[in-house]
Amino acid sequence: MPKEEAPKKTAERPKKQIQLLRGMKDVLPEEQQYWDFIQDRLATIAQAYGFGLIKTPLIEETGLFVRSVGKDTDIVEKEMYTFQDKGGESVSLAPEGTASVVRAYIEHGMLSRPQPVKLFYIGPFFRYDRPQAGRYRQFYQFGFEVIGERHPVIDAQLMMLAYNFYAGAKLPVSLQVNSIGSPESRADYRKALIEYYKSRKNSLCEDCRQRLQKNPMRLLDCKVPDCQVLAQDAPQIIDHLDEESNKHFVQVLEHLDEVEIPYVLNSRLVRGLDYYTGTVFEIWPEPNAAIAPGTDGSVKQSAQSALGGGGRYDTLVETLGGQPTPAIGYAGGIERCIIELKDRAISIGAGYRPELFIAQLGALARKKALKLFEDLRQAGFKVAESFAKDGLKPQMELANKLGTKYALIIGQKEMMDGTILIRDMESGIQETVDFQKITAEVRKRLEKYGVVEKRDGKIPTPSADQAHP
Ligand code: AMP
């Protein structure tokens, strides 16, 4: 056996602390209630509108995004995390969800299912973008896709869903709508735009000058003030729509009027990705004059920081190798939604709050408490504990902090007597009860607060009663 080398004596240098990558974000437990709030609401909405959850991989063949999102878009040109895998294939972390959902629709032959197929997703996406408030390099989006139907009622219903998701969460938002027409009418419009901007090129920002030939419609939603001024007088797509797109758009708006969803016609709304056709829309937060910098340190968002966006992509299924199939989708950002909820101090409910605290004194009591915790939890109670603590005082302090209604205390005396103490945390009154009856005793008391009634009636036969003779 090789002789072990004695460790070299070198001066201990402090190790460099590894930090979060730029543009990334840790979600800490204190934010969890916001995520639960959003996810619960999304799951309910998805069910109500008949969407099935789909999970696609974080990583896909790079070609999927090049063909769908478009090779001349900012996302594909500058923002994708692209690398070669060990097999030499070019793969990318998904920068958005629609392309993967459409790939899955084709790959799993969903065309043979009753149409439209309604799919819902939620997950992380990646864009190597310039980090700023509300803009991360890994962020979460939820999305709703309706594939296989072209009727304008579908467009209106999806906008209604998106709008109601925010309105239901008490977030004041506006629905911005536009139509960018068929690819043919867009080609005509692009020419008109290039013509308009040609003589004004010198007033454009550097990015827009680059975009002018490749993607002139992006000039309309550039955030640079000079470019915004020029966009005001630029030709409007609505004047270049073909008859079919125009008719479709009018019907979408009629349906929205019918369900009384307010909307703003926004002729400069173009969306950044190549796959859009016809109806496009975004959800913007209403300006919030009252807010100071965000609770997470973020600076106030402008009204143009969309909470989400979507639109028709009637040619995408075919572009990705499927049959011609009309479709429409919406994707919303979760972090931006949380920023708005926090900035507007919108109540999202109390979150998880334990109602019982189990306190113990001594090694034997600790063992019994460990079992009691599990029995009560399985019986449907929300229980908290701090089993590693020895003294009663820190345990009571924690019970107080958590706002539990009762503390259940097992000390040496209770161990000997086969009893347990129930302490009302509000009044401080303590009662000794038979350990075997603990479940019924606790239940009786919690009912007083109306806490247990909400659970569907009967609590399962408590094993605690049998397990602790
Ligand atoms: P998009 O696919 O760019 O239309 O994005 C749809 C929504 O996702 C946006 O309105 C944002 O709410 C959110 N989103 C997009 N990019 C980011 C990002 N880099 N960081 C945080 N949220 C984002």
pLDDT of the residue at 289:
67
The tens digit of pLDDT for each residue in 314-333 reads 999 999 999 999 999 999 99
Residue pLDDT, tens place only, 443-452: 999 987 765 5
Round to whole Å and give the CA distance between 111 and 106. Answer: 7
Q: Given 1.10.150.130, 3.40.50.80, 1.10.150.120, 3.40.50.800, which CATH number is that of 356-447?
A: 3.40.50.800
Say if CB 54 and CB 146 are below 8 A apart: no
For residue 305, pLDDT over 60 is answered with yes
Q: pLDDT for 239-267, tens place per residue?
A: 999 999 999 999 999 999 999 999 999 98
The pLDDT value given to residue 349: 84
pTM score, whole prediction = 0.85
Q: What is the pLDDT of residue 11?
A: 67
Higher pLDDT, 212 or 81: 81
Per cent of the chain over pLDDT 90 is 75
User: What's the mean pLDDT when you consider all of the chain?
Assistant: 89
Distance CA 24, CA 325 (A): 36
Report residue 13 CA to chain centroid gap: 42
**From the CA of 126, how far away is ligand 1's center (Å)?**
10
CA atoms of 164 and 154, how far apart (whole Å): 15
Whether the CB-CB separation of 344 and 395 falls below 8 Å is answered with no
Q: Where would I find the beta strands (DSSP E) of 192-292?
A: 264-265, 279-285
pLDDT of 343 higher than 70: yes
Is the pLDDT score of 456 beyond 80? no
Tell me how crowded residue 394 is: count the other CB atoms within 10 A of its CB.
Answer: 12
pLDDT for the residue 271: 86
What digits encode the pLDDT tens for the residues 98-133? 999 999 999 999 999 999 999 999 999 999 999 998
- Minimum CA distance residue for ligand 1 atom 13: 333
Please, which pLDDT band fits residue 406 given cuts at 50, 70 and 90?
very high
Quick check: 348 pLDDT over 80?
yes
- Ligand 1 centroid to Cα of residue 242, in Å, is 30
CA–CA distances in Å: residue 119 to residues 116, 148, 160, 381, 415: 10, 11, 16, 35, 56
Residues 6+ apart with CB under 8 A from 27: 35
CA of 14 to the centre of ligand 1 (A): 39
CA of 305 to the centre of ligand 1 (A): 9
Cα dist from 223 to 6, 189, 302, whole Å: 62, 21, 10
**How far is Cα 386 from Cα 405, in angstroms, rounded to an integer?**
16
Share of the chain above pLDDT 70, in %: 90
If one compares 62 and 458, the residue with the highest pLDDT of the two is 62
* Pair type for strands 406-410 and 356-360: parallel
Give 454's contacts (C-beta < 8 A, 6+ positions apart).
none
Give mean pLDDT, residues 335-349.
Answer: 94
Confidence of residue 218 (pLDDT cuts 50, 70, 90): confident
49 pLDDT exceeds 90? yes
Confidence bin at 4 (pLDDT 50/70/90): low
In the block, which residue shows the tokens 């001349």?
A: 72
The ranges assigned to domains in the chain are: 29-182+242-343, 356-447
What spacing in Å lies between the alpha carbon of 134 and ligand 1's midpoint? 9
DSSP 8-state code for residue 23: T
Q: Identify the CA nearest to 462 among candidates 396, 389, 376.
A: 376
Burial environment of residue 112 by CB neighbours within 10 A (0 to 12, 13 to 18, 19 or more): exposed
Q: Which of 201, 207, 231 is nearest to 130 (CA)?
A: 207
Q: Range with the lowest mean pLDDT among 63-67, 255-259, 297-301, 348-352?
A: 297-301
Q: Which of 295, 261, 299 is nearest to 281 (CA)?
A: 261
Establish whether residue 173 lines the binding site of ligand 1, counting it when its CB lies within 6 angstroms of any ligand atom: no
Top mutation candidate among 79, 139, 334, 339 for ligand 1, by most atoms within 8 Å of CB: 139
Does 423 score more than 60 pLDDT?
Answer: yes
Angle, in degrees to the nearest 10, between helices 32-48 and 334-343: 120
Tell me the mean pLDDT in the region 425-432: 96
Kindly tell me if the per-residue pLDDT of 300 is higher than 50. no
Per-residue confidence (pLDDT) for residue 223, from 0 to 100: 81
Q: How confident is the model at residue 288 (pLDDT cuts 50, 70, 90)?
A: confident
- Check pLDDT > 60 for residue 468: no
Residue 127 amino acid letter = R
Q: Which CATH architecture has domain 29-182+242-343?
A: 2-Layer Sandwich (3.30)
Q: Which of 88-97, 292-301, 456-465 has the lowest mean pLDDT?
A: 456-465
User: 358: number of CA atoms within 13 Å, CB side?
Assistant: 26
Exposure b/e, 17-50, CB count within 10 A at least 16 = b: eeeeeebebeeeeebeebeebbeebbeebbeebe
* Integer CA distances (angstroms), 258 to 13, 93, 153, 255, 284, in order: 70, 41, 11, 5, 22
Q: What pLDDT is attached to residue 350?
A: 75
Whose tokens are 């139907």? That residue is 149
Task: Band the pLDDT of 222: cuts 50, 70, 90.
Answer: confident
Which ligand 1 atom is the nearest neighbour of the CA of 95?
A: 2
Strand order in the sheet with 308-312: 52-53, 117-126, 138-147, 327-333, 308-312, 279-285, 173-179, 264-265
What are the pLDDT digits (tens) for 62-79? 999 999 999 888 899 999
What integer pLDDT is reported at residue 298 of this predicted model? 40
- pLDDT tier at 458 (50, 70, 90 boundaries)? very low
What atom in ligand 1 is closest to the CA of residue 334? 12
Res 362 pLDDT > 60: yes
What pLDDT does 296 receive? 43
Cα–Cα distance measured from residue 64 to residue 118, given in angstroms and rounded to the nearest whole number = 21
Whether 235 has a pLDDT exceeding 70, the answer reads yes
The per-residue pLDDT for 450 is 65
Shortest-distance Cα residue to atom 4 of ligand 1 = 309
- pLDDT of 462 strictly over 80: no
In ligand 1, the atom with minimum distance to the C-alpha of 127 is 19
- Is residue 116 reached through a cis peptide bond, with omega within 30 degrees of 0 on the bond before it? yes
Residue of 287 and 26 predicted with greater confidence: 26
pLDDT at 338 exceeding the cut of 80: yes
Strands 383-385 and 356-360: parallel
Per-residue pLDDT band at 393 (split at 50, 70, 90): very high
Residue 356's pLDDT band, with cuts at 50, 70 and 90, is very high
Q: Is the CB of 285 under 6 A from ligand 1?
A: no
Helix (H, G, I), strand (E, B) or coil at 352: coil
Residue 293 has pLDDT above 70, yes or no: no
